[in-house]
Amino acid sequence: MPIVKIFHYMQVQLSSVQMGAISTPLVLVLLFCCLVSVSQAEYLKYKDPKRPLNVRIKDLLKRMTLEEKIGQMVQIERSVATPQVMKKYFIGSVLSGGGSVPETNASAETWIQMVNGIQNGSLSTRLGIPMIYGIDAVHGHNNVYKATIFPHNVGLGVTRDPVLIKKIGDATALEVRATGIQYVFAPCIAVCRDPRWGRCYESYSEDPKIVQAMTEIIPGLQGDISDNSRKGVPFVAGKNKVAACAKHYVGDGGTTKGINENNTVVSYNGLLRIHMPAYHDSIVKGVSTVMVSYSSWNGQKMHANHFLVTDYLKNKLKFMGFVISDWLGIDRITSPSHSNYSYSIQVGVGAGIDMIMVPFNFTEFIDVLTYQVKNNIIPVSRIDDAVRRILRVKFVMGLFENPHADISLVNQLGSEEHRQLAREAVRKSLVLLKNGKSAEKPLLPLPKKAAKILVAGSHADNLGYQCGGWTITWQGGGGNNLTVGTTILDAVKQAIDPATKVVYNENPDSNFVKSNNFSYAIVIVGEHPYAETFGDSLNLTIPEPGPSTITNVCGSIQCVVVLITGRPVVIQPYLSKIDALVAAWLPGTEGQGVTDLLFGDYGFTGKLARTWFKTVDQLPMNVGDKYYDPLFPFGFGLSTNTTRY
């Protein structure tokens, strides 16, 4: 009974006493209940935001049963996260896997309704510990229909603009919060050393220094940490910001031949010099969580690496947020996956992983971990460390005070302001690799006023291809129905003079090109969408009909080729035919950013953040290597003047 009601009830009963209607012992019982209630209200220190952080953590932790503690360590997929499950198993976190949505083309309001429904299950538990909901937001809020899709990291690294990257983090946080979600599995701070890796587009650069600079997205996502903050303490500045996740710890971009989830062979000094620096920067900036990599370091799985997870990350770098596994990450400690789950849990949790992305078969995980703790296979102190870190993040970000979504932010999703920011990011991420058959006769910028121009290529009118993997679904997709945005073809039509005729032909033959008397052609081709292992490629060729389109068009007329790719690809065989060549990477939903540069509204400024190879036989090849003979070196990029008045 609430304290106010107890006092009111006592007043009524005491009045009755005066009338002789109630016994004195009952009054004493009521007084005792009142005192107990008052003492309890004062004793729940963890619910008081004015209490110091460590006091709240300590108070809550000592109240928790083993069952409640282990529940906090579990992250499950939204498709199995009913309110009843959250309440029964005390689940600490929920996620959306790639493409996992409440319904097709769900609105922000629909997302909020789902997240709040799950949260209500958590809040109905004995201690009322709120859950934290995580989602991949690796280039904007990429799972969500109508969200602003920013260029992938491979393009953002080109900008070398930490201020821009911070703004993107801020915009992404608002769009994520607009759907009621509080936690993002971003940024990826991998240092991709081999473009054959299917996740290379998630990496800002082959250069650790650029990747370090791009960690400025973290204060964008989380807010600016104060100068006097203790190193390693996570920081999230309220309900308009999200908890961030530096991933994938550590060395995921250095695997042999770029094979995803494979082995990174590098010395300890090499690991610290190439792959570790951005983690140090992330921790200084208050990153809340770190995700462990599927990959191995010199043969040892990172999910089982106590030295790097506990001794180095937690103890040496003083990281005080929580460490999370990747999707079924501990299962993959063994080969085949899940073949010795008890062992995987023992070494994974023992290595220092605090939250386990299960994501479906959570009861098995809970049962095994509970057995291991009760039988002293895993010490309770390791469980307490994990839960302490999870609670620290939840307290810091204000989840206990504001567990539910703020409906007032729904208009932030795909807002015009964010789309203009993405358009700016596209402009700054493009790299001009060639401009004219000779320097004296540049092709770009293109004239807006011409009799007739040709737009060709598989990627010219395909928003899905333009955005790449991790867009609405895990692997991405083709076509223009995936989400809302502007294709490059539409952007061309918007940019040119109204008198200029635009002819679009996806894959014209040379006779068509020669017989139509075009002033010039824009050819937009590239890779098809992929994510993770599905993108691993040992040949890095542009799929057909891309090469045929380049040959047919550029062999017949002046052309600019715009490459939509997640990495450098084989282009040398076609280079002599091409008049102008633009690396546009995976620009996202705002295709006008490409035409802003093609037609001279802005000048090209981007410089390669990756080495562009001549042939795949040269790989891996990175700036600073002894034998460095690229087609276009790291840092290369031509510039153009603007024609705007």
pLDDT score, position 33: 52
Q: Quick check: 347 and 377 in contact, CB under 8 A? A: no
Indicate which residue of 326, 331, 354, 596 is catalytic. Answer: 326
74-412, what's its fold?
TIM Barrel (3.20.20)
Query: Is 326 marked active-site?
Result: yes
Which among 48, 65, 43 is positioned nearest to 125, based on CA atoms? 65
Distance CA 330, CA 361 (A): 13
| Residues in the chain, pLDDT under 50 | 1-22, 27, 29, 35, 38-40, 645
The residue assigned the tokens 């993405």 is 422
Distance CA 441, CA 309 (A): 55
Q: Which two tokens stand for residue 308?
A: 């790097």
Q: Does domain 416-632 have CATH number 3.40.1230.10?
A: no
Q: Quick check: 172 and 221 in contact, CB under 8 A? A: yes
Distance CA 591, CA 568 (A): 20
DSSP, collapsed to helix, strand or coil, labels residue 14 as helix
Distance CA 591, CA 596 (A): 9
Encoded amino acid at 124, one letter: S
Which among 240, 154, 149 is positioned nearest to 463, based on CA atoms? 149
Query: Is 532 marked active-site?
Result: yes
DSSP string, 334-401: SSSTTTTHHHHHHHHHHHT--BEE--S-HHHHHHHHHHHHHTTSS-HHHHHHHHHHHHHHHHHTTTTT
DSSP, collapsed to helix, strand or coil, labels residue 139 as coil
Angle, CA of 305, 307 and 308, to the nearest 5°: 75
- Provide the pairing of β-strand 580-583 with 431-435: antiparallel
Which among 348, 378, 397 is positioned nearest to 181, based on CA atoms? 397
Indicate which residue of 206, 532, 536, 579 is catalytic. Answer: 532
Sign of CA dihedral 598, 602, 603, 606: negative
DSSP string, 75-129: EEEGGG--HHHHHHHT--EEEEPTT--SSTT--HHHHHHHHHHHHHHHHTSSS-P
- DSSP H/E element including 54: helix 53-63
Which tens digits make up the pLDDT trace of 157-193?
999 999 999 999 999 999 999 999 999 999 999 999 9
Q: Left (φ > 0), alpha (ψ -120 to 50) or beta: where does 423 sit? A: alpha
| Helices 341-351 and 380-396: angle between axes, nearest 10 degrees | 60
Angle, CA of 411, 417 and 418, to the nearest 5°: 80
The residue assigned the tokens 């033959």 is 509
For the chain, give every domain's residue range. Answer: 74-412, 416-632
The CA-atom distances, in angstroms, between 134 and each of 7, 179, 202, 244, 344 are 43, 11, 18, 9, 23
Distance CA 152, CA 144 (A): 16
